[in-house]
Amino acid sequence: MGPRTESSIIVEASSVSKRFGARPAVDQLSLRVPAGVCYGLLGPNGAGKTTTLRMIYGVTRPDSGTVRVFGIDIGRDPRSVRSRLGVTLQQNVLIEELSPEENLRVFGRYHLIREPELSRRAHELIGFLELGSHAKVPVRQLSGGFQRRLAIALSLMNRPEFLILDEPTTGLDPAVRLALWSRIRDLKAEGTTALLTTHYMDEAQRLCDTVAIISAGKVMDEGAPSDLIAQRLARETVELDCSPSEEPALLNGLSPTPQRLRVGRRLMVYLDDATRLIEHIRKLDQGQRRSLIARPTNLEDVFLALTGTSLEGGV
C-alpha cells in the first residue's frame, strides 16, 4: 500500500445511473470521496443511497457511468477493491449459533488471515467495540446493540482502508449510538476513510466532514454540514405551531420576508436574528402560550428544504 496524501481520492463515481425496470434508482450521480474523511450520503427512503453503495462496493453494476475505488474500475477488478474495504450492511449478517469471538475468527478466515494474526485481530476488535463481556455468548442471545457492534467489528477484521457503513445505528438506543460514534471517530483518527448513510441528521452533522444530499437518485447539494447550513438558510430558526391562515400576520413587518418551511401545522422560520420575530409573536399572542422554540439552524433543516418540502420566501 502506497503512501496516502491529503488530496488522494478513494471513491470517484462519474455520471453513474442505474434503473430497475422503468424506475431510475440513481440518475447521473457523481461524487468524490477524499482519503481520511467521513463522508455522508443522505436522502429520504428510495433516494438511491443503498443502490449507490452497492455500486461502490461492486455488488451492483451501473447501467452507465463509472465507479473507481482506489483508482480501480470496480466493474473490471472487484476483487482488488474488496480486499481493501469493509462493509457494514443495514441488516446484520451474523452466524447466530456462534459467539462474537467465533464469528470474528470465521470472518477472518474468509480474508485468509492466519494464526497468530487471526487471534490477535479478533482480540483487538473485541476490545475496540467493547464486546468483552459478551465475547463467548451465542449471537442469538445478544441485544440489538451488541449485534450491531459485532457487525461493525466484522467489517474491520481485514483492517480496511475504506469503511462503508449503511445506516449503522438505526434502531439503537442513544447510549449505544454515542458509543459507536466514538468508535467511528477513532477509526477516522487512525486514517480510515468512511462512507456513511444515515437517517439521523444529528449523526451526520457530528460525524461527517462532507455530506451529499440526494433525492430521486440525484445529488441536490454537497459540502461540509456547516457550509450547507450557511449557504442554504439563515443562522437561526424559530419553530412554532400555527395555521396557514395565521402565517401572514405572524410575519408581517419582517423585511426581507424570511425563508420558511411548513410541515403540517409546524412552521420553521429562518432568520439571522430571531429576537425580533419572537417579540412580535409574543405581542400578537397577548399572553397565550403558543408552542415556540428558537434554535440554531441545523442540517435537518437543509435536508427538508432540499428533498421535497417546499421553501418559501426570499433567497
pLDDT at 282: 83
The four Cα atoms 233, 185, 130, 196 give a dihedral, to 10 degrees, of 60
In CATH terms, are 9-224 and 234-296 the same topology?
no
pLDDT by residue (tens digit) across 190-232? 999 999 999 899 999 999 999 999 998 999 999 999 999 999 9
pLDDT by residue (tens digit) across 101-139? 999 999 999 999 999 999 999 999 999 999 999 999 999
Report whether 204 contacts 40 (CB < 8 A): yes
CB atoms within 10 A of CB 189: 9
The residue-averaged pLDDT of 59-67 equals: 95
Confidence of residue 45 (pLDDT cuts 50, 70, 90): confident
Confidence of residue 17 (pLDDT cuts 50, 70, 90): very high
Average pLDDT, the chain: 90
218-223, strands of its sheet edge to edge? 85-88, 162-166, 193-197, 38-42, 210-215, 218-223
Which one has a higher pLDDT value, 221 or 265?
221
Which one has a higher pLDDT value, 211 or 145?
211
For 89-107, b where at least 16 C-beta lie within 10 A, e where not — what string? beebebeeebbbbbbbbeb
pLDDT at 2: 41
pLDDT at 309: 58
Residue 1 pLDDT exceeds 70? no
The residue-averaged pLDDT of 74-101 equals: 91
18 is written with which cell numbers? 442505474
Closest CA relative to residue 213, chosen from 224, 202, 171: 224
Confidence of residue 289 (pLDDT cuts 50, 70, 90): confident
| CATH superfamily of the 9-224 domain | P-loop containing nucleotide triphosphate hydrolases (3.40.50.300)
Looking at the DSSP assignment, which residues form a beta bridge with residue 195?
39, 164
Exposure of 140 by Cβ count < 10 A (0-12 exposed, 13-18 middle, 19+ buried)? exposed
The DSSP bridge pattern shows strands 38-42 and 210-215 to be: parallel
Q: How far apart are CA 19 and CA 172, in angstroms?
A: 32
| Third-level CATH fold of 234-296 | Alpha-Beta Plaits (3.30.70)
Q: Which sequence spans correspond to the domains of the chain?
A: 9-224, 234-296
- As a whole-number percent, the residues of the chain with pLDDT over 90 amount to 66
pLDDT at 20: 92
Q: How many helices (H) and strands (E) does the chain have?
A: 11, 15
* H or E element in which residue 249 lies: helix 247-251
pLDDT at 114: 94
